[in-house]
Structure 1
């Protein structure tokens, strides 16, 4: 259940395995957070917009015997992104481009801090090694058998891995470069993990491999073309997709504990829609927000993570999104642009508070934001009418579901949300040297935490999912099967391996590995044989007799 990228991918894989799959989605279109918006002749991606980890996408399509090049028109971006650093009040920002050629990047960094180029080259090489270790040993495992990840290579790297897990990313970066601006270039990836460089483990330095070494790509037509491609795969495998179907409960029959399931309280028998219809299933896969699944869709006696347990978890960062159609050209902005404040620690304290699970009341909307701006018309002019450009602003925001929820003019109102959007548009225009940017906006749409809570049932209105602190990463992150309802599996950013489009695709594969009883740390072999789940079902690895899976 759930037609986001993870739900779609899981549906396609299970159908290829021989299951009869019905995918149910609350909205009228699949995609979840990976959306597209047509507004007055402009086209916007409404969610993820960075195409990282290409080998994960290539592998997923290869599982179906397909080449991703036959589905997506990918273009390598150069520059990969442009960075704007806050300077004197009222003045334009300092800028730095990160290009597609690593050697040119090392030279640029060296010009900002003598010797930084070589140190960042070494840092990038170490990040590449950490990335390969994660891909080969940790990302594709369900952790059902953690020892299966302990290869000779992992054991050899144990001292390095222990250090990367025992310190924060910011600490690792501070040993590499002294210039605070270059530190931001190495640390901003933490926001993609719903967190800050002062909270995520240094292991996530591996993400610098993605932009400094591997480069950044973009699918022409927008990120939603990826959703359309996976939807085609799912339908070709026989998945029945029902949109406009809101699941209100997972139906569970009581069942006693067993040696295999010592915490079991029941077995899922299907899902109930808002219309009262019950869809029977032997396996239910939930791609809904994990908090929503555990606290709203499951009866309390079957929930492994009741409401009170979430007080100890960190929801991570939410976002203010501004989709703006702009009159005239905007050459000052690259396809991807990043705007960084000088007071980074204070900015993250506003967003996340001081503790791992700070209460909403301790969080604040930053006056000056660290902002991500996407201008896809730099690569894909068809996304806007002639003589216009499109802008997508993502401003990290507190995970507070009241923001944008009220009428009137109070701090939680839509009017206040629109006022924040005005201020951040002005900031982008001022820092990038674009006079009258806000006055050139001819149409726009603003989305805030209340929208994430209402549209996606997102815990505390978060934009990504629980943040990747150490206690919410790898084997410490919620697993992809319910310990109390063993034929209820989870897929998406709330479970292993984590947030982001590549991670969601891997989570779909981990669902298939659970049903196969496969405990290795390696990806499944490609292509997968049609009907590959039949033998596992015959061995009794599926709890139930039929081959039908329901998901929302």
Structure 2
């Protein structure tokens, strides 16, 4: 245990709340400042006319990470949330194919599906998932719960023994790895799409990330009743219960420091607090021994620190790859929509062109675009009035704020609304819901411009830096400033990466840093 410190956390998103909870439980004096009126960050919520929409994460994967996090705080996932295991896990529609495929929450049924779709693929499915499970287990033990602050992260006997295989998984693309196992386009797309959850594409993500397939094809997909906003509520609850204080409507404008000279570890300054402006315009300095930057890392570094104290200046970001932007569409729909599962994916035939449009200069909005639809009202009666449905559509597009912002009832910028219209038309056509557009009673859109304004997102990205080879594991941005002593970073921009489970782990990495814990696995 460390001597209790005065801690200020910038950002009340999932990573910020989780970090605050763990540090408060360790006895530190913790304040969280959040610029928006409500906590949650990307895991936001919006309500209108009896509909309640999650405006961010919607897949509950890696349940072991959530269980471990809550256990560190003396509680459990079951005490905090009611999870429903989805069946089917998700439904997949393919351009040019008459029938969708359903991915079950059961491994045996998924094996049967692969075998029916491609004779002989059942055996390869088993081999693929065994490899995915083994890689996932190694990642948990050696890569996810470490800041790579000690040589033991690289020299463990287990890693040295597996080095040839790990090297292949890191240097081969996920797309190539999948293609060596399966021929059918539909199966390849099912196995490749998890790369999008990592802010990349199958041809740009390392094969290491085939571990994601074990999560949905074997471990299953879950949903928290009441929506993902209930998870945010749970984080606020455990943080406050352990003594942390949450302040909304407070915008950080500067990370305050004092010069300390060039010390033995190269740091030029020491953190002293955070300058911030309240909702009423009042400016205050929040004193701190430790500052946790849990907001967008690009914003924290390039806007809240002077150039000489930036570990990641603008020129560093100019050489990095953002994950995709997104058009988000929130729809309240009259009548039932049994054609859609809780999660439905729509894949275009030429998705190389789809991904190239997003990631290759000059970028453009793909058309047609592969997209994702969430229908939480299939599982949760609380998110829509009786006899209505709640739909969330996500269309990956280039991370470019100049594409515009969304709005309510079609009032968003032209490109955003046109993309939403095309997405609604595609879902209606492929899923056989001819009158979908006519049944919409509530509509809101969001675009890259909203991400840039609402969560200070670098490049207007919806997720964060993409999980390419040079932006994964120890090559991802470090979670400690190299220039300012006492300044740490948490969240999807830093290690270990994108997604709710990764944000919880990033919080634990801060706790381990402050404790001097250099272990590579979950805390015990």
TM-score (norm 2): 0.95
Q: 1:496 maps to what in 2?
A: 495
How many residues matched? Answer: 508
Alignment of 1:457-472 (within 5 A): 457-472=456-471
Superimposed CA distance per residue, residues 406-458 of structure 1 (whole angstroms, 9 cap, x where no aligned partner): 99xxxx97133112111110100100001111111101110000000011110
Q: 1:520 maps to what in 2?
A: 519
Cα distance in 2, alignment partners of residues 300 and 202 from structure 1 = 36
Shift of 1:43: 1.0
Alignment of 1:141-290 (within 5 A): 141-259=146-264, 261-262=265-266, 264-274=267-277, 275-290=282-297
Residues 62 and 170 of structure 1, relative CA distance in 2, 3 Å threshold: same
Decide which of 11, 21, 27 is 1:2's aligned counterpart.
11
Q: 1:478 maps to what in 2?
A: 477
Q: What SS class does the counterpart of residue 402 from structure 1 fall into?
A: helix
Conserved? CA contact 2:406–2:416, under 8 Å: no
Shift of 1:372: 0.6
Cα distance in 2, alignment partners of residues 224 and 124 from structure 1 = 31
Shift of 1:518: 1.1
Conserved? CA contact 2:322–2:461, under 8 Å: yes
Conserved? CA contact 1:86–1:94, under 8 Å: no
Shift of 1:382: 2.1
Shift of 1:283: 0.5
Shift of 1:36: 1.3
Conserved? CA contact 2:140–2:522, under 8 Å: no
Shift of 1:152: 2.4
Cα distance in 2, alignment partners of residues 334 and 162 from structure 1 = 38
Shift of 1:227: 0.8
Cα distance in 2, alignment partners of residues 72 and 273 from structure 1 = 33
Cα distance in 1, alignment partners of residues 153 and 205 from structure 2 = 25
Cα distance in 2, alignment partners of residues 145 and 457 from structure 1 = 32
Alignment of 1:21-36 (within 5 A): 21-36=30-45
Conserved? CA contact 1:87–1:94, under 8 Å: no
Cα distance in 2, alignment partners of residues 428 and 80 from structure 1 = 19
Cα distance in 2, alignment partners of residues 474 and 124 from structure 1 = 22
Q: 1:509 maps to what in 2?
A: 508
Shift of 1:405: 4.7
Conserved? CA contact 2:406–2:450, under 8 Å: no
Compare relative contact order (CA 8 Å, sep 6+) and give the higher one, 1 or 2: 1
Conserved? CA contact 1:72–1:226, under 8 Å: yes
Superimposed CA distance per residue, residues 201-251 of structure 1 (whole angstroms, 9 cap, x where no aligned partner): 000000001001100011111011111111100000111110000111111
Superimposed CA distance per residue, residues 508-531 of structure 1 (whole angstroms, 9 cap, x where no aligned partner): 000011111111102112xxxxxx
Cα distance in 1, alignment partners of residues 289 and 56 from structure 2 = 32
Cα distance in 1, alignment partners of residues 405 and 242 from structure 2 = 40
Residues 46 and 405 of structure 1, relative CA distance in 2, 3 Å threshold: closer
Q: 1:349 maps to what in 2?
A: 356
Residues 232 and 413 of structure 1, relative CA distance in 2, 3 Å threshold: closer
Conserved? CA contact 1:321–1:446, under 8 Å: yes
Cα distance in 1, alignment partners of residues 37 and 100 from structure 2 = 42
Superimposed CA distance per residue, residues 446-495 of structure 1 (whole angstroms, 9 cap, x where no aligned partner): 00000000111100100000000010000000110000012100000000
Cα distance in 1, alignment partners of residues 329 and 116 from structure 2 = 34
Cα distance in 1, alignment partners of residues 204 and 398 from structure 2 = 15
Residues 39 and 475 of structure 1, relative CA distance in 2, 3 Å threshold: same
Conserved? CA contact 1:15–1:237, under 8 Å: yes
Conserved? CA contact 1:194–1:464, under 8 Å: yes
Cα distance in 1, alignment partners of residues 142 and 419 from structure 2 = 43
Q: 1:37 maps to what in 2?
A: 46
Q: 1:309 maps to what in 2?
A: 316
Q: CA RMSD in A?
A: 1.4
Q: 2:3 maps to what in 1?
A: none
Q: What SS class does the counterpart of residue 182 from structure 1 fall into?
A: helix
Q: 1:138 maps to what in 2?
A: 143
Cα distance in 2, alignment partners of residues 460 and 479 from structure 1 = 20
